[in-house]
Amino acid sequence: MKGNKENVNAESAEVPPARGPIYRLWRFVREILIILVIAIALSLLIKTFFFRAYYIPSGSMENTLQINDRIFANLMTPGPFELERGDVVVFRDDHQWLPPLETTPSGLENALSWVGILPAGDEQYLVKRIIGMPGDKVECCAADGKLTINGEKITEPYIYAGDSPSDIKFDVTVPEGKIWVMGDHRGASADSRFHVDVQGGFVDLDSVQGRASLISWPLDRFGTIDTHEEVFANVPAAK
């Protein structure tokens, strides 16, 4: 009996004392802080290497993208994945196609940009579709009004209803390291055609931030962004 009593006392001694409300509160706060640190670290990793959010302020890409759409761009293109004709790309406004910013970003906007929910508030970006890759000869227009790439006419189903492929005639050969871009709403897009006075209207591949892959908001427009590979399937390689 004595031995059993000693065992009971020993077991009782191993039970930790009850924790008070201050300990329980600290444990809760500590867990929340750990979760926040992990979430911020993952967000920074994602926005640095994988995806980043952007906002569509204009109708230059209608109806593929509409005003106030939120999109995610795949930052691994260009990179491990290569760009192709038809890709919708986000690129920095390195050659001042847009007017200067009139307002500075707020502290909240800077914070959301830092974690990758918003793009950098002190930089401007444009979203257009790639029509010509390096070496391509892009011309407008053929007798029926269509664009030609390396001599092959293309039919563009993504163009805004009622727009022609282009009201501006052009005949360009895309230099190495650059692309020729156009908006889907051809009548409302100040794209490569409108900036031939700045390095021929071409966009540096180094300026491309990523390929627009997903519409995330509003929810009724949630879905992937079509690159319309079929449009360019018969275009021959650049000579």
- Residues identified as active-site: 60, 128
Number of CB atoms found within 10 A of residue 76's CB: 14
Helix (H, G, I), strand (E, B) or coil at 178: strand
Which residue carries 């994602």 as its tokens?
46
| CA distances, 29 to each of 16, 18, 23, 42, 211 (Å) | 22, 19, 10, 20, 39
Return the half-sphere exposure (C-beta side, CA atoms, 13 A cut-off) of residue 63. Answer: 7
- Give the Cα separation of 56 and 70 in Å (integer): 6
Cβ atoms of residues 85 and 182 within 8 Å: no
Torsion angle, CA of 206/106/215/166, rounded to 10 degrees?
-60
CA distance 85 to 156: 12
For the record, the structure tokens of 136 come out as 């391509």
Amino acid, res. 9: N
Say if strands 208-217 and 70-74 run parallel, antiparallel, or are unpaired: antiparallel
The two tokens of residue 8 are: 């009971």
